[in-house]
Chain A
Amino acid sequence: MRYRLVYFAISFIAIACGVYGLIAWGLKVGVDFTGGSIIEYRFKNSVSTEDLTKTIESGNISVASVQTTSEGNYLFRFPPITEADKTKITTTLQEKYPDGFEELRFENVGPSIGPELVKKTITALLVSTVLILLWVAYQFKSIKFGASAVLAMLHDSVVLLGAFAIFGHFFGAEIDFLFVTAMLTILSFSVHDTIVVYDRIRESQRKVGGDLTALANKALTETMVRSLNNSFTIIFMLVALALLGGSTIKWFAVALLVGTISGTYSSPFVAVPVLVTWDQIEKRFKK
């Protein structure tokens, strides 16, 4: 625990970068939250995005953005459109490009869905946090353990949000429904690793007893290899998914990846130092 301040500093820098990103650029929020439409087309022959936009806008429909997702695939974003607008887009495109294109997907989300999604996500986050806090506190018979595990969890959520502010600014990553899922999953990842370290502390406490700082140090050394190895196997799967899994799932895999890395880091270097610091402060007050 000698380098505790260094660990806190690293976390602080990571979070600071994220917060800067959040403030400077904000999150790039997808149609799931804002409401709106996306249509993805695949054209047989390559077409310029300007031409496509012009063609569609000739029907008095404003295009919010066009993005090439892969060879010949174009993703259009619109403000919420009606069925009639949709038909118009399809017919104008058919007239202009009769040699063939295909509609890959179409999503149209009303403006009322977004606020609900935010509300439900916050509820889900709160419920999971409270349940995990209670479970850890109960298993390790101390609120200290639960609270520091939850703090590490929040650390990971903030890192993930910050990372996506940065990814959103530079690579156009969007916050959507899947991102929310990733964020909730990350909570459990983070606490998964933390519990493994805690378990070691608990075990030594029973067997040899002694100062929590010493026990924590011992537990960290003992679990480090396993934490790293397990994260590697998860990272292998996620990297494969992010690179090969296709555009729909790419950012979901990236979100889980960021969360896994942050979760691996936060267990030994956030949860345990916080626990030890808490314990020391508590002791000082008791004296």
Chain B
Amino acid sequence: MRSATKKVILIFLLTAVALVISLPKTIPLKFKLGNINVDKVLTRPDLVIKGGKFDIEKKFDLVLGLDLAGGSHLIFEADLTNIPQEKRVTAVDGVRDVIEKRVNLFGVSEPNVQTSTYGGKERVIVELPGVKDTQEAVNIIGKTAQLTFAEIVTEDEIQKLSPTSLTGADLKSADVTFDSTSGKPSVSIEFNSEGATKFEELTGKNIDKPLVIILDGQEVSAPVVKEKITGGKAEISGNFTLEEAKNLSIQLNAGALPIPVKLVEQRTVGATLGAESVTKSIRAGIVGLAMVLLFMLLSYGKLGLVADAALVIFGILTLALYKLIPVTLTLPGIAGFLLSVGMAVDSNILIFERFKEERDKHAFADALEISFGRAWDSIRDANIATLVTAFILANPFDWSFLHTSGPVRGFAITLALGIGISLFTGVVVSRNLLRVFVRQNVATKK
């Protein structure tokens, strides 16, 4: 068997595997064949390999970005005015950790929390897929949630609030409970051992006096102490709604933010709009692809058919790769993919145009080989130039002087991947396809 034939078989095998990966997980089969009614759902099994330390579990699902799946993109800026320079990094990392905990407690699947620095400004970027009530999320994430207990001291016959050393840092956990008499929601808290000791002392000192609970500088409640409380349990019963009580318990459990943050940017896309974007871009993709396929066929005949085959293989491989890496697909990302479809045939066009010239001077098969060889220089140089721009847009090293935004990055990544794969399909795949099919055709004609 000739090596080209072997390569073509390999290419087809690769494509077949990629096709299985790139198809949707379940495909409903419903048709009638004579008297036989077929009504089945084909399901692709997930890849699960369990061997000692290495567990491989691949689900092969497309990861959709916030603009397609719906969700919120929030950017908080940390207020660093009172923080000395050397402590800023730790403070911002602390903010990120607390926010991450809060988001997790809020119950978001696959959130993304990261920090970013630009021009002396420290930011925390929070991505929440599928969250409907963004406002609530913002309320939970953005509040400092600094809890302090204060006692009332009388100085020169004037009553004053005096904050004590008992704070939210002394908490072990917080929970929502309902007041047994009024039925109103409140937050029960449990102190750690140190906090419990402090609380015992504090309550012992303040019998028959109110103990003021302050959250972010605001008085939440001021229960009057009846007796010394041991065991480190207390209840905050302000005038909470159920939501507020829930949010407060999340904030207390995650801990207070070391520094206050401010929401500077918010982008929320509803799931409806996201789903519509997906349908619309798929439709645009199909129409565009059909036009490109037809154009190649009309312009280059049989050669065009080979280019079309290479293009279809390109599409299948790219989609499979998106799932394998996985690439988070955004709307600009889809645009990048569609663009790379348009560019993928470029190598073929270059080669075929070259072939038209060479055919006059050489035999059919030789002319093909020569065209591939000659066109390679320009294909390589031109594509490297595109990769340079894609690299700058994708900014893989997170250089702070360049864009670090999700949508731009999504576009650049799909564009770069597209170029990479199109080099393979446009040159290697179409060359070997031509070697096998066109050559044999010529041979039989002779």
* Interface residue stretch chosen among A46-54, A56-64, A231-239: A231-239
Interface residues of B in 365-383 (CB under 8 A from A): 374, 377-378, 381-383
Taken together as a complex, chains A and B put the C-alpha atoms of A112 and B335 apart, in Å, by 28
Contacts of B263 in A (CB 8 A): 83, 108, 110
Contact of A123 among B138, B346, B402, B412 (CB under 8 A): B402
Known: A180-B408, A230-B345. A249 touches B353 (CB 8 A): no
Interface residues of A in 110-131 (CB under 8 A from B): 110, 112-113, 116-117, 120-121, 123-124, 127-128, 131
Contact B118 A234 (CB under 8 A): no
Contact B353 A229 (CB under 8 A): yes
Contacts of B284 in A (CB 8 A): 240-241, 243-245
Contacts of A272 in B (CB 8 A): none
Contacts of A214 in B (CB 8 A): none
Taken together as a complex, chains A and B put the C-alpha atoms of A184 and B386 apart, in Å, by 10
Contact A86 B135 (CB under 8 A): yes
Contacts of B280 in A (CB 8 A): 244-246
Known: A241-B284, A241-B288, A249-B281. A124 touches B393 (CB 8 A): yes
Contact A107 B267 (CB under 8 A): yes
Taken together as a complex, chains A and B put the C-alpha atoms of A105 and B267 apart, in Å, by 7
Contact A185 B393 (CB under 8 A): yes
Contact A188 B266 (CB under 8 A): no
* Interface residue stretch chosen among B3-11, B48-56, B145-153, B268-276: B268-276
Taken together as a complex, chains A and B put the C-alpha atoms of A225 and B346 apart, in Å, by 12
CB within 8 Å: A-B pair count: 214
Contact B295 A233 (CB under 8 A): yes
B248 within 8 Å of A by Cβ? Answer: no
Contacts of A139 in B (CB 8 A): 381
Known: A185-B415, A222-B357, A234-B342. A241 touches B268 (CB 8 A): no
B142, chain A: closest CB distance, angstroms: 9
Contacts of A239 in B (CB 8 A): 288
A107, chain B: closest CB distance, angstroms: 5
Contact with A along B180-202 (1 / 0, CB 8 A): 00000000000000000000000
Contacts of B393 in A (CB 8 A): 124, 181, 184-185
Contacts of A83 in B (CB 8 A): 135, 138-139, 263
Contact A192 B385 (CB under 8 A): yes
B391, chain A: closest CB distance, angstroms: 9
Contact of A132 among B331, B349, B385 (CB under 8 A): B385
Main secondary structure of the interface of A (DSSP, over half): helix
Contact A105 B345 (CB under 8 A): no
Interface size on B, residues (CB 8 A): 72
Contacts of B401 in A (CB 8 A): 120, 123
Contact B388 A233 (CB under 8 A): no
B108 within 8 Å of A by Cβ? Answer: no
Contact A199 B277 (CB under 8 A): no
Which residue of chain B has its CB nearest to the CB of A149? B385
Contact A234 B339 (CB under 8 A): yes
A195 within 8 Å of B by Cβ? Answer: yes
Contact of A195 among B134, B138, B378 (CB under 8 A): B378
Contact B335 A252 (CB under 8 A): yes
Contact A195 B382 (CB under 8 A): yes
B163 within 8 Å of A by Cβ? Answer: no
Taken together as a complex, chains A and B put the C-alpha atoms of A178 and B402 apart, in Å, by 15
Best-buried of B285, B342, B343 by chain A (most CB within 10 Å):
B342
Contact A199 B349 (CB under 8 A): no
Taken together as a complex, chains A and B put the C-alpha atoms of A239 and B388 apart, in Å, by 25
Best-buried of A124, A196, A233 by chain B (most CB within 10 Å):
A233
Which residue of chain B has its CB nearest to the CB of A186? B389
Best-buried of B288, B401, B415 by chain A (most CB within 10 Å):
B288
Contact with B along A73-94 (1 / 0, CB 8 A): 0000000000100110000000
Taken together as a complex, chains A and B put the C-alpha atoms of A40 and B299 apart, in Å, by 44
B20 within 8 Å of A by Cβ? Answer: no
B276, chain A: closest CB distance, angstroms: 6
Taken together as a complex, chains A and B put the C-alpha atoms of A188 and B135 apart, in Å, by 40
Interface residues of A in 167-185 (CB under 8 A from B): 177-178, 180-181, 184-185
Contact of A233 among B287, B335, B346, B415 (CB under 8 A): B346
The 3 closest A-B pairs by CB, nearest first: A199-B378, A240-B288, A110-B264
Which residues of A are at the interface with B, using a C-beta cutoff of 8 A?
A: 40, 42, 83, 86-87, 102-110, 112-113, 116-117, 120-121, 123-124, 127-128, 131-132, 135-136, 139, 177-178, 180-181, 184-185, 187-189, 191-193, 195-196, 198-200, 202-203, 222-223, 225-226, 229-230, 232-241, 243-246, 248-249, 252-253, 256
Extra pairs beyond A107-B267, A185-B339, A188-B389 (6, CB < 8 Å): A86-B135, A102-B270, A103-B268, A184-B392, A229-B353, A238-B339
Which residues of B are at the interface with A, using a C-beta cutoff of 8 A?
A: 67, 75, 77, 118-119, 121, 134-135, 138-139, 263-270, 272-273, 276-277, 280-281, 283-285, 287-289, 291-292, 295-296, 299, 331-332, 335, 338-339, 341-343, 345-346, 349-350, 353, 357, 374, 377-378, 381-386, 388-390, 392-393, 401-403, 405, 407-408, 411-412, 415
